[in-house]
Homo-oligomer: A and B are copies of this chain.
Amino acid sequence: MPPEDRYLIVSTDGHAGLLPEKYGDYVDPKYRETFDDKIALEIARRAAREKDFLIDEFNEKWRAGNESKLAAAWDSDLRNEVVDGDGVAAEVLFPDGITERNAPPFGAGLGLRPWGVDPELQWAGARAHNRWIAEFCQMEPIRRIGLAIVPMLYDVEQAVNEVEWAHDNGLRGILIPALMGDHDPYNHPKFYPVWRACEERGMVIHNHSGPSPDYDFELPGAMGVFLVEFAWWAARPLWHMIFGGVFEEFPKLKYCLTEVSEFWVPSMLEMMDVRASVKHTSGKHCDFRSNLSMKPSEYFDRNCWLSASALFDEGSTAVRHDIGMDNIMWGTDFPHPEGSWPHTREKMLKYMTGIPDQELTKLLGTNAVACYDLDAAALNEIASRIGPQKSLFVGEAD
């Protein structure tokens, strides 16, 4: 039974990862020497990148007094403590624990770029993380919804094998590369075996913000350009899959787009529907709708979810109905500095006070239960203990 006076919260955007040097223990022995050779350089590169994006003042203020809790990126007991404190019953776990500090090796982190990397090594890094995150989730199988990293662009069979391995080891979904570079895009039928393997096992497919081509951040306004474009780069697989007929072919496949901000999504759904209705150009390749029995927005409604994390604000609140109240989920983004922690309660109340109970119930928890097919009874029991009081959210929006 759902608790009467508290909300069940499933954070659909969490991050977990080992300290970089610790991934060595999870790398296949044949890549161990390469790992030892490269890891110091990788760590230095990530530190430099963090310095570029996060000004010391902001980063240090966020860390001040909380440093000891950041080990929750990889420490199981500490994780439970932090998550309990946030009122979160369960979490979806992406890689890149503390920003990029705790990313898997060999370019197998959130960015998962399909160029400038050695595909074999990127796979090795992905597998190292997958082994670790599987262990980490097995310690709390109810509360930890782990995702496997699957760099599926290079080799479909290897990707299918990894989906199977991930499922067999308790993971609940996969993170796929967002940028397709010169590789075949996701509307290519060669990827059907991956989608099939996921559909059969209820493994949810994810893209998460972060991946982008290289920007020269020394140029004026480059960060503004990046901020305008990042969600688009992350979301491109969505329309490739929709127009490619992937959800037509695999009607139970689940796809989730995470931390891309929300206010622009309704206009993108409109864009897809408008484009699908274009009649004036009708060439050899223009019968692209012949593989679709529904409007693009209807596939979104049936097969896709949006994980509204970190940036969930007035804009997100305003468009929740246009996105669909069954398709939007919340997340804390712990332990990333742009996330809600360590002020999760205040931030939730700031933007969610006044949202009707029935909507909050979905947004905070039951949509995720449906998307990831979670153990509702067990989670409700946890929520009865640690979930935030419903009464807190009653009142006028801030």
- A residues in contact (CB < 8 Å) with B: 51-55, 57-58, 184-185, 187-189, 216-225, 227-229, 232, 236, 239-240, 242-245, 261, 263-264, 266-267, 270-272, 274-276, 278, 280-286, 288-289, 291-292, 296, 310-311, 315, 337-338
Contact = CB atoms under 8 A, between A and B. Distances in A.
Contacts of A281: 53-54, 58, 338
A153 to B, nearest CB: 14
A221 B55 contact: no
A344 to B, nearest CB: 15
B51 A283 contact: yes
A270 B58 CA distance: 26
The 4 tightest CB contacts between A and B, nearest first, are A221-B243, A224-B243, A267-B267, A227-B275
A58 B187 contact: no
Contacts of A229: 236, 239
A219 B239 contact: no
Given A228-B271, A274-B263, A52 B284 contact: yes
Given A217-B285, A244-B221, A264 B267 contact: yes
Contacts of A289: 224
B239 A220 contact: no
Contacts of A284: 51-53, 55, 217
A340 B237 CA distance: 34
Contacts of A261: 274
A74 B305 CA distance: 52
A284 B57 CA distance: 11
A359 B275 CA distance: 27
A8 to B, nearest CB: 27
A284 B219 CA distance: 12
A21 to B, nearest CB: 25
Q: Which of A232, A264, A278, A283 has the most CB of B within 10 A?
A: A283
Nearest to A49: B283
A266 B264 CA distance: 10
Contacts of A185: 216, 219, 225
A18 B264 CA distance: 42
B232 A282 contact: no
A53 B283 contact: yes
A52 B285 contact: yes
A1 to B, nearest CB: 38
Contacts of A263: 267, 270-271, 274
A55 B283 contact: yes
B225 A338 contact: no
Contact of A225 (B221, B243, B310): B243
B267 A239 contact: no
B276 A224 contact: yes
Contacts of A272: 224, 228
Given A53-B284, A229-B236, A264-B267, 17 more contacts: A58-B281, A187-B219, A220-B245, A221-B240, A221-B291, A222-B243, A222-B285, A224-B275, A224-B289, A225-B239, A225-B243, A227-B275, A228-B271, A261-B274, A263-B270, A263-B271, A266-B267
Contact of A224 (B219, B225, B239, B337): B239
